[in-house]
Structure 1
Amino acid sequence: MSSYRLPSVREQSLANSHETPLAQKLSTDPITSRTAQSTAISVHQTAIGGYWRNVTIIWSKNLTSHSLGVVIDSVETGNEQCSCKIDLKPWQFWSKKGYKMFEVDGNQIEVYWDLRSAKFSGSPEPMSNFYVALVCDDEMVLLLGDYEKKAYKRTRSRNPLVEPMSFYKKEHVFSKKSFSSRARFDGRKEDHEIVVEISSSGHNKDPEMWISIDGIILMHLKNLQWKFRGNETLVVNNFPIQVFWDVYAWLFSNPGTGYGLFIFKPGSSEIDNGDHEESSRGEDSDCSSGDSNYFSTHSSSKVSQFCLFLYAWKVE
């Protein structure tokens, strides 16, 4: 296993920027199954009105509510942000398809969504069969989801002149032992399903941790109480992904008072190169990867800047 490295200043600033009041509150209040509110926050950059702007998409869900928020930075008024909120009431079918409009620096932003057939998998963000479209001056400035044809047909918009970019995604997940998220690392249109699991039923009841991507276990960490911080490079479809973890709060704090933090970042680090070759040959180690086509010594030369920050909250 490669040595642990703290996230860089840029990674830490990404993790703290665009923080919602809910996320700030989570760091201080004990979490229970009643107060747990999952959030998935993704930040994109797209061209609107002749400027590159940050667009933040916020999915939020608890026992009684489910909402979608859209926040767009203003370039004319400094740090001011323009936003709209959509309540996706589970008992009201009509709220799952709709249209809203708001203004950003004199530009009319149209938001279209259709979640009537959306499929979910434990996250407030749908995994398939949906679209959320942002349109400005008849141009599709941002499109989320896999219903692209339906989105273009409904909005009657044209393709963007400049393709938007995804910066990072932050997700707060609540569970007893299994935490999942989805992310797109290699610039393709397919999302990867990421699952982190923890168990204390191993040898001598020492806690163990597994990380799997697309249903294939790529990392099995034993003796977690001694390796609660670390980093490793995994490879998915010949594409390297750095994984950083810090689960100190899981092991040494009261339940609900802290989270396990996982950072998934495309590319391989220099410190990992030597260890990565050794791990990919499938040799036995405490941090081992199963035999699969997902692990390889080959890497891609095109590295995305996208990062996934997964905040895993244990709820008893």
Structure 2
Amino acid sequence: MFAHLPGAEPTNYTKPSSTEKETEEQTTNKSPQISVTYIYTVEVAELLSNVTVTWNKNVMNCSLSISVENPLDESHYTCKIDIKTWQFWGKKGLKSFEVDGKRVDVYWDFRQAKFSNHAEPLSDYYVALVYNEEVVLMLGDMKMDAFKRTKKRPSLTEPILLCKKENVYGKRSFCAKAVFQKDKTEHDLVIEFSLSGLGDPEMGITIDGFEVIRVMNLNWRFRGNENMKVDDVGVQIFWDVHDWLFTGSSTSHGLFILKPAAEEGGDDKVGDGRHCRGNDGGMYDSPKERSSSTPG
């Protein structure tokens, strides 16, 4: 239920030829795609809604989709932005759509954005979700530029990050950023696989350069969980690498879930791994590497 509304800024776009489009689609389909998804609770269109922000990246393209869930009927309203990093046009724009019959605007500016091998930009960009006179959700580090352009004030209701999920490709290791506390301090997370002297796989997890977990005999401990401390905050990590280790398919996944440790007497169950519960939780999904991708 996406609709352009009057007053939206036009976005420059040059339609590619059919040959160029076919070549690009073939390359895109063959390229392994990495993604990162954030789920926030946001007050938008006078409703407290879950807003899902997903960044996708492959060799050719980057894209961003923002989906707003209507809690009244569980319908979704989605806005998608395609970012071609080698082109200048289309990197700044505005799209408008309706949520429960009310206009919501998405402003973005990627003209100076710095990209890396991660799905989302590193810095120098903004994406602002605007309803009425408020910026209800802000992404990126160029906040002042966004407020100046939109001429809107920050929302009185601060968004709450519920979950972060990453889908990455790699043979032996991958890196991510994780937040475990309300002060929003980011920590560097690295998960590495190696072979011991007996040829058995083992797994190490480091946070900010310090190893916090070492799992030996991974062929036998392919599923498990451990508790650890990060800045005196209890954190639980759950892993399931059975398919990643024992299934021959290139799309086999390893699943890692990080979440704040439950308070005493709380529920420590993680369920089937499909959902991430608890504020500032993180879920990391690592498929096996395809032959066309670059080693992690």
Query: TM-score interval w.r.t. the shorter chain?
Result: 0.7 to 0.9
- Counterpart CA distance in 2 for 1:268 and 1:51 is 29
Shift of 1:134: 0.6
Q: Superposition pairs for residues 246-265 of structure 1, below 5 Å? A: 246-265=240-259
1:100–1:215 distance in 2 versus 1, CA, 3 Å: farther
Aligned to 1:86, what secondary structure does the other structure show? strand
1:304, CA displacement in angstroms?
Answer: 5.8
SS of the residue 1:203 aligns to = coil
Q: 2:228 aligns with which of 224, 234, 237?
A: 234
DSSP 3-state at the match of 2:243: helix
Bigger relative contact order, structure 1 or 2, given CA contacts below 8 A and separation 6+? 1
1:175-210 Cα shifts (integer Å, max 9, x gaps): 11112222322122332222211112x212221211
1:155 is aligned to 2:150: yes
Please state if 1:104 is matched with 2:99: yes
Note the alpha carbon deviations across 1:210-253, whole angstroms, 9 max, x for none.
11223332222222112111111121122121100011112211
Contact 2:165–2:284 (Cα < 8 Å) also in 1: yes
Residues 103-252 of structure 1: pairs in structure 2 closer than 5 A: 103-200=98-195, 202-252=196-246
Q: Which has the higher helix share?
A: 1
Q: Flag the 1:157–1:305 CA change in 2: closer, same or farther, 3 A.
A: same
SS in 2 for 1:175: coil
Cα distance, 1:255 vs structure 2: 4.4
Task: Report the more deviating stretch, 52-61 or 143-152.
Answer: 143-152
* Structure 1 residues 241 and 121, CA gap change in structure 2 (3 angstroms): farther
- Identical amino acids, percent of aligned pairs: 42
Q: Which residue number corresponds to residue 272 of structure 2?
A: none
Residue number among 284, 288, 292 corresponding to 1:310 in the alignment: 284
Q: State how many pairs are aligned.
A: 252
Change (3 A) 1:214 1:34: farther
CA distance in 2 between counterparts of 1:119 and 1:97 reads: 14
Amino acid at match of 2:281: C
Aligned partners of 2:162 and 2:278 also within 8 Å: no
Structure 2 residue runs of 5 or longer lacking an equivalent are 1-28, 266-276, 292-296
TM-score (norm 1): 0.73
Match of 2:49 in 1: 53
* CA deviations over 1:117-149 (Å, ceiling 9, x no partner): 334443212233322111111201011222222
The equivalent residue for 2:273 is none
How far apart, CA to CA, are the structure 1 residues paired with 2:233 and 2:125? 27
Aligned-residue Cα RMSD (Å) equals 2.4
- Structure 2 counterpart SS, 1:95: coil
Q: CA deviation at 1:270?
A: 5.5
What are the ranges of 5 or more consecutive residues in structure 1 without an aligned counterpart? 1-32, 272-302
What residue identity is the alignment partner of 1:312? S
Residue of 75, 81, 85 corresponding to 2:80: 85
Distance 1:150 1:56, change over 3 A: same
- The answer on whether the counterparts of 2:203 and 2:215 sit within 8 Å (CA) in structure 1 is yes
Aligned partner letter, 1:310: Y
On the 8 A contact 2:163/2:278 being kept in 1, the answer is: no
Q: Which residue pairs with 2:69 in the alignment?
A: 73
